[in-house]
Amino acid sequence: MSLPQSEIIRFSKENLTQDDIEYFKNKYGKKFVKALRAVDERKIIRYKFSPSESVTWIVKGRGRQYLVIPELYCTCRSFYQEAVISRETNMCYHLFAQRIAEIRNEYETRTSTDKERRKLYIEWRRTD
Ligand SMILES: [Zn+2]
């Protein structure tokens, strides 16, 4: 999943206009609404681990946190069912939210160690 340049430009603006909102709603429906809400509620976290300097993106869902590989993969159930298995789509709202958050610079930043990362990954990698 990658957004067209014209949409990246729309998301880069300081404030989305009503026109932008309508455009995205028409194109992406509920996924856009949920993604935008997640961004507004600061549910997206960018972890940076040292000393490896590796970066991991997380989106906080209702019950747990999902690991998102930008434009590619999410550990949530709907991505697994709708994108991997039935191939109806190539994104879930978490993937969309990560892109919006990154473009708009509206995410939380956390730093941690590679040692801690191994522990966090056990939880993040769960796909149930
Ligand atoms: Zn997801």
CA–centroid distance, residue 116 to ligand 1 (Å): 23
pLDDT score of 127: 66
- Number of domains composing the chain: 1
pTM as predicted: 0.93
Domain range for 44: 5-124
Q: Is the pLDDT of residue 19 over 70?
A: yes
pLDDT score of 124: 86
pLDDT score of 63: 82
Contact (Cβ atoms closer than 8 angstroms) between residue 42 and residue 101: no
Q: Is the pLDDT of residue 8 over 80?
A: yes
Cα 28 to Cα 26: distance, rounded to the nearest angstrom: 6
Cα 67 to Cα 55: distance, rounded to the nearest angstrom: 11
| pLDDT digit string, tens, across residues 75-106 | 999 999 999 999 998 899 999 999 999 999 99
CA–centroid distance, residue 110 to ligand 1 (Å): 20
Q: Is the pLDDT of residue 17 over 80?
A: yes
CA–centroid distance, residue 66 to ligand 1 (Å): 7
pLDDT score of 123: 84
Mean per-residue pLDDT of the chain: 94
Structure tokens at 20: 């932008």
CA–centroid distance, residue 109 to ligand 1 (Å): 20
pLDDT score of 62: 81
CA–centroid distance, residue 97 to ligand 1 (Å): 9
pLDDT score of 1: 81
Angle at the Cα of 28 (from 25 to 33), degrees rounded to 5?
Answer: 55
CA–centroid distance, residue 115 to ligand 1 (Å): 25
